[in-house]
Amino acid sequence: MLAGSITPSKVSGVALVASLADAKGDIIAATAADTVARVPVGNNGDLLVASSGATPGLAWRAPSPITASATGVTLDRANPVYTFTGGSVTATLPTASTHTGVRFLIRNAGTGTVTVSGITGLTIPGTGYVDVVSDGSAWVVFEGAYATSAVGLASYRWNQATSAWRLIAYDSGLRQTSSWDVAGTVTGDALPTGWEPRTGEAGWIRWLRTRDTATVFVRVIQASAASPDPIIIPSGFLAQDDIQALIPMPTVAQTRAWAVIGEDQLRRASSNVFTIGDASGEFAMSWPAVPTLPTSLPGTQVTAPV
């Protein structure tokens, strides 16, 4: 096969002349014994594939998305791009040793999980892709990324060093578990024993998880007992370590030490006690969250994850 501007020459005794090529990118292919023909250049991005139905035995073909059936599909080197738009499916890679240097782009644009058979443990659980290549002995992930909005919004990238997905961003959206109006009517979860709305002021308890950090937002909550029960932190927002922060309490013109104790309790620090009538203004308190992301979200959505 010769390409480009061919100068007259002898190949096995047969002369090929430059006039056989008409355009940039034309190639020459054998149509039969001792017979050649021009194969016109294809469109940008087309693939050159063997085609017994074409006169020269070769044809240009645009790569097309593959929508797999429920039983999955075995990837073919003739089409390096596979886009799955259905439910969960298995994409099976061919034998690596006979596909050295071959590369596949596998995309999940559907509603399920794409399992890539041929690389141990590799799945694409959300909208995203993996770019894989054969090194002659095994298939390896060159790069990949995916996002899922099943519980909050999470984004992952492939970590080549660990051969695993790495969380790069997470947002639960702002969630509200309790709120109350100026009349003191509580909506959502009941306040823990010993807490009540402050007369004439609306308020709430809200939560936000962003990757490694959890935050609580509290507006105007008042102690109705000297030792009120703790506010329980939702699963997925738990703290890695105990922390405390000084929070202004306008009703007593001083601060009180609030603390996260035992990973799931928001309350006064152990060396302090509330007095009846202690009331917060509006405050936020953050802590390093446990690595495990929420499997469900508390309360109702105030703002969507971004």
For every residue of 125-170, DSSP letters joined together read -SEEEEEEEE-SSSEEEEEEEEEE-SSSEEEEEEETTTTEEEEEEE
* Residue whose structure tokens are 């016109």: 40
| Distance (Å, whole) CA 115 – CA 106 | 10
Domains of the chain: 9-61 (no CATH), 73-171 (no CATH), 174-303 (2.60.40)
pLDDT of residue 45: 64
What phi and psi, each to the nearest 5 degrees, are found at residue 171?
-150, 120
Query: pLDDT tens digits, residue range 179-235?
Result: 999 999 999 999 999 999 988 999 999 999 999 999 999 998 888 887 888 999 999
pLDDT, one tens digit for every residue, the chain (306 residues): 444 444 444 444 555 666 777 788 788 888 788 778 888 887 876 777 777 777 887 777 766 655 555 557 899 988 889 999 888 999 999 999 999 999 999 999 999 999 999 999 999 999 999 999 999 999 999 999 999 999 999 999 999 889 999 999 999 999 999 999 999 999 999 999 999 998 899 999 999 999 999 999 999 888 888 788 899 999 999 999 888 777 766 655 566 677 888 889 988 766 556 677 777 778 899 999 999 999 999 999 999 998
pTM of the model: 0.72
pLDDT of residue 237: 96
Rounded distance between C-alpha atoms, residue 106 and residue 120, angstroms: 16
